[in-house]
Structure 1
Amino acid sequence: MKRNWELDELIEHFTILPNEMRLIENKTGETRIGFAVLLKFFQNEARFPTHKYEVPKAVIAYIAKQIFSEPELYVQYDWTGRSITYHRTQIREFFGFREDTIEDGRMAMPTFSASRS
């Protein structure tokens, strides 16, 4: 993800829509900001951040303002617990994705056939 964002880009890519806000409404504190950032990051990048500091501060601040949260709470969001796992599942389902399976990996692998000449 790029590091520097202009206001018009933040508005275009990180504005929380009413249907997205419904997913966020029941969360509080660091969980609220963490979930919202994951949601918008996934929507824009088609993946989750690999670590919390991958998300630029300007993006966090813009999202925090929309959900009436303090951007500083984002640092407290737990990246190793059950909550983030559940949040990722909720976000994937919201966008119609699912986690890869072993079978997906098998299907993606090329098959080679040996031919004798």
Structure 2
Amino acid sequence: MEQKETFFVTAKGEIQPIPADDLIHYFEIQASYDEKKQLEHIIYEMKANTKKEWLDIWSPKRHFNEAYAEHDRGKDSKLAYELFRFLYLLGTEKTKRDIEEMNVLPELYEQSHDTIEKVK
């Protein structure tokens, strides 16, 4: 079994070995090297998709085409769901409680599932 280490994930998608600031909310997780890499990949994909959407403003054919917009919203929802699901699975008991209190997983699952079905 791979050894797990403690990491702290910020809202900006930074994964840190120790909490750097008491004023910032962190999701504390226990992750192996591979799990951390998976989490980093999800965060990278979210940031890349956000940048792509921002650039769409300058591409009228894509930006004003609702099919593309639906696709991008579906991808956002799917990535957000995957991120929170992964944080929940790797999270400490406090992190799991925080995510449960946010009630974000059911809503994100519905949004990503509904939007993806519309695009198909």
Higher helix fraction: Structure 1 or Structure 2? 2
If the length of structure 2 is used for normalisation, what is the TM-score?
0.28
Say which structure, 1 or 2, has more relative contact order (CA 8 Å, 6+ apart).
1
Higher strand fraction: Structure 1 or Structure 2? 2
Which structure's CA Rg is the greater one?
1
